[in-house]
Amino acid sequence: MKLLLENWRKFVSEEEDTQPSEYIDFKRGDCSLLANVVADMLELPTYGIFDKAGNIQHVFVYDPDADEAIDCRGRMPVRDITQNIRGDDLTYRKITQQEIKDTFGTYSDEEYEYAEEEAHSII
């Protein structure tokens, strides 16, 4: 998945005048970008949702004080975070930045700034 996402981002970035808003989709593979931005802004940990094979299916931010998850859908009780996420026997746990990087790759400064703008509408 990482290679696919990185190749797609490279292909899109080669297009003239392509903006992150034209290809970043927080509901389709770029959840880690938004989660990292929100975690940085609120100084909260990132969590991953894993399927029974151990693959990361989604990344979100966990607010332990409110017992809430935060992702592109907004804030919700953490018990509801796996709703509408693909996979069987889903579980979640705290996730490291290296695990996120290994699965989703990295993002450019421009992509991070775009996610910062979008994050304000959900937090």
Q: What is the mean pLDDT of residues 62-68?
A: 98
What confidence score (pLDDT) does residue 2 get? 62
Closest CA to 61 of 78, 82, 84: 78
Mean pLDDT for the stretch of residues 40-48: 98
Mean pLDDT of the chain: 90
- What is the total count of domains within the chain? 1
Please write the tens of the pLDDT for every residue from 8-39: 666 655 555 788 888 899 998 899 999 999 99
* Higher pLDDT, residue 51 or 15: 51
- Identify each DSSP E strand in 1-54 by its residue range: 46-50
Query: What residues make up the domain containing 7?
Result: 2-119
Q: What is the pLDDT of residue 59?
A: 97
Quick one: pLDDT at residue 46? 98
Is 79 a residue whose pLDDT tops 80? yes
Alpha-carbon distance of 37 to 54, in angstroms, equals 24
